[in-house]
Structure 1
Amino acid sequence: MTGKGAVSVLYINDDPELLELVSSRLEREDERINVRAVESVERAKAVRSRHGADCILSDQHMPGQTGLQYLRSIREDGDEIPFILFTKTGDERVASESISAGITDYVIQRAIGDPSALLARKILSAVEHDRARRRAEQTDRKLRSVAEATDDALFIFSPDWQELHFINSAYETVFGQSTEEIRPDPQAFLEQVRSEDVDHVTEAMGRVSDGEAVRIEYRVERSAEIEAWVESRCIPVTDDSEEIEFISGFSRDITDRKYYEQSLVEKNERLERFASTVAHDLRNPLNVADGNLDLARTEHDSPYLETCAGALARMDDLIDDLLSLAKEGSTIDELTPIAFESLVRSSRENVRSSEASIDVEESEVVRCDPGRTIEALENLFRNAVEHGGGDVTITAGVLDDGDEDGFYVEDDGRGIPPSEREAVFERGHTTSDHGTGFGLAIVDQIVAAHGWEIEVAEGSDVGARFEVTGVEFADDGWA
């Protein structure tokens, strides 16, 4: 038999009759076994070099090199091929030395009886064990090569963090500590953690041991001069009985990201201060102009004064929108469960139109930053009024089709042509004489900060419809 299940046996014996007898019996005993028979160790070396073998079956007493001597030479080369000594004499010294040399099995050949069944069973068992070992080693090599190709420190700990099952060399770069230091003392990595963060890390370790997946950020001191930020993610891996079998995870250097985040916060703070200062300086003369305009309108009735009033109102809206863009950037505060209907009710109070109708058809409890979500809804409502007129009808509701939760705002105005639907979220884009072009850009920014998505569609009454998806409802496990 040839193929994946075949087992090639190299049988060595200087007795030609035994060579023929044992070979034929083994092949007859199990069709998977193929035997190549040779009369000496020297001949065996040549045959194995040319054809290979899965298992060696050898007599002990032969002219030239003995079976035990051949075994020793093979093991000295680091070769772990299954080797079974099949000999007529039960010599305790030979048996003991064979075990010391790394023999796979030792079988005494009896004068009477057929040992084929026993030999076949031992050969097949030894070969299968060897193949399983080599498969495991190959898998281990592949996994280690992958582990060494990453800059992340990969690790596997026991559930109590007392034993380290695996660590890759990237650990040294991330923590500034040799892997030789952590292997005998698995919790030695805590020595590298900044003292102010040790309690935070040990508390997180306890949570993982209790079955919780954890992601934390903390500082490590690689040396007296070098401090770095590290992110670690750990998951408890359980067995079939739901008992934690081991803890797996990785740690990575996030120093550059933390510095970038800090610089971004500082930049946003400077931008907010600058915008607030500019807005304050603009509003002072704007208030003066608006006050004098009111006085002029009491003495004169002129369409030019109405045009001037509209321009001042638009400047005021523009200042508000610019402040909104600069104030929050792309960040949101803590997410809070709140009824969608409540968000709509709060938003409509700031829409300048006594004639516009805003109805809520359905409501769910939404997890969001309420202040910024209200701001987004306000801008959607203002957009409907600006493009649909003061008497526009606006409808808001939730999307709950089982696949994509979210909410929508639509109006019965003139709608948005398909060719313009992507451009409406660009800053400064407007088709209204009264719009600033920043309202929908602010909406898009707030939606993105939540991790949601927004699309423009056609409303049921031809008007514009904005759909926000990816929203989490409280009844999906957020309550």
Structure 2
Amino acid sequence: MTGDITILHVDDEAAYADLQKMYLEKIIEASLSTIITTDPTEVTEIIERSSVDCIVCDYDMPDIDGLDVLATVREEYPILPFILLTGKGNEKVASEAIRMGVTDYVQKPSGSKQYKMLGSRICNAVVRFRSSRRDRKEMRRFQNLLDRVADPLLTLDTDLCITYLNEGAEQFLDGSSESLLGAAVVDHLPKKSALEAELRRALDEETMIVAEGKFKFSSVEHSIRIYPDEDRLLVLILRPDNEGSSSVT
């Protein structure tokens, strides 16, 4: 793994934290920056002011244990990698940590082999975190673009259930996003609608399709553009007065 990694190490024993920092800097093939705190109450403040990629936190600390720190972090940072260092054979703590959304848990290292395992777990967690963060950023960009389209626009999954709809689609289908998300789009089509077959054909053939179709509440046919994109469909419904173009606000 390449690139800079910033670790926040939470441990009430500063000497042990310094030792861990030394070992990990030798093991991890990246530019490693370690922030050490012996005060668990500082964790969210440090995250806010630093670009932390992963938290490594000891479980056994006085007053506030590692599970308390995990709970605090997960309230504001649900996907930030959090590795809990547990004592030998502490399955009950590990089980509770999993329930609370820990990324990983590792027996507190005491030798080079265990440090290598911890280094590997950190790198893997950071890779997944950065990938997920990029995916979320791209999804926000995609949704911001879709929100600007004035015509009704939907995305459907492979079961033809609605996974996204813009404001135009909410108005067109006469419902709120809360009531429409997850609903099958065929419920809004007349029985034996040819449009359902075209939607499935677009999925099967992975090709853009121009179709005509009516909806239950509409007396006119609409021109519909169906765009397959991996495991979803993007469906643009052109209003009768806007055939051939789609306005963007």
- Aligned pair in 2 of structure 1 residues 219, 80: CA closer, same or farther (>3 Å)? closer
Find the partner of 2:172 among 168, 171, 174. Answer: 174
| 1:184 and 2:170 matched | no
Give the whole-Å Cα distance in 1 for the aligned partners of 2:243 and 2:15: 77
| 1:201 and 2:195 matched | yes
SS at structure 1 position matched to 2:127: helix
SS at structure 2 position matched to 1:69: helix
1:4-403 counterparts in 2 under 5 A? Answer: 5-30=3-28, 31-157=30-156, 162-164=159-161, 166-169=163-166, 170-177=168-175, 180-181=179-180, 183-191=182-190, 199-202=193-196, 204-205=198-199, 208=202, 211=205, 213-220=208-215, 222=217, 227-236=219-228, 246-255=232-241
SS at structure 2 position matched to 1:115: helix
Give the whole-Å Cα distance in 1 for the aligned partners of 2:208 and 2:12: 64
Amino acid at match of 1:33: L
Give the whole-Å Cα distance in 2 for the aligned partners of 1:206 and 1:49: 46
Amino acid at match of 1:9: I
Aligned-residue sequence identity (percent) comes to 22
Q: Give 5+ residue unaligned stretches, structure 1.
A: 240-244, 259-479
When normalised by structure 2's length, the TM-score is 0.80
Contact 2:162-2:183 within 8 A present in 1 as well:
no
Contact 1:153-1:167 within 8 A present in 2 as well:
no
Amino acid at match of 1:216: A
Amino acid at match of 1:50: R
Amino acid at match of 1:251: I
- Aligned pair in 2 of structure 1 residues 232, 32: CA closer, same or farther (>3 Å)? same
Map Cα deviations across residues 400-428 of structure 1 (whole Å, 9 max, x no partner). xxxxxxxxxxxxxxxxxxxxxxxxxxxxx
- Aligned pair in 2 of structure 1 residues 140, 94: CA closer, same or farther (>3 Å)? same
Map Cα deviations across residues 282-312 of structure 1 (whole Å, 9 max, x no partner). xxxxxxxxxxxxxxxxxxxxxxxxxxxxxxx
1:422-461 counterparts in 2 under 5 A? Answer: none
Give the whole-Å Cα distance in 1 for the aligned partners of 2:200 and 2:125: 44
- Aligned pair in 2 of structure 1 residues 190, 70: CA closer, same or farther (>3 Å)? same
State the shift of 1:64 in Å.
Answer: 2.6
Contact 1:10-1:37 within 8 A present in 2 as well:
yes
Q: Give 5+ residue unaligned stretches, structure 2.
A: 245-249
Please report the RMSD computed on the Cα atoms of aligned residues, expressed in angstroms: 3.1
- Aligned pair in 2 of structure 1 residues 75, 200: CA closer, same or farther (>3 Å)? closer
- Aligned pair in 2 of structure 1 residues 230, 107: CA closer, same or farther (>3 Å)? same
Larger gyration radius, structure 1 or structure 2: 1
State the shift of 1:139 in Å.
Answer: 0.9
State the shift of 1:163 in Å.
Answer: 3.0
- Aligned pair in 2 of structure 1 residues 115, 204: CA closer, same or farther (>3 Å)? closer
Map Cα deviations across residues 323-374 of structure 1 (whole Å, 9 max, x no partner). xxxxxxxxxxxxxxxxxxxxxxxxxxxxxxxxxxxxxxxxxxxxxxxxxxxx
State the shift of 1:71 in Å.
Answer: 0.7
Q: Which has the higher contact order (CA 8 A, sep 6+)?
A: 2
- Aligned pair in 2 of structure 1 residues 91, 253: CA closer, same or farther (>3 Å)? same
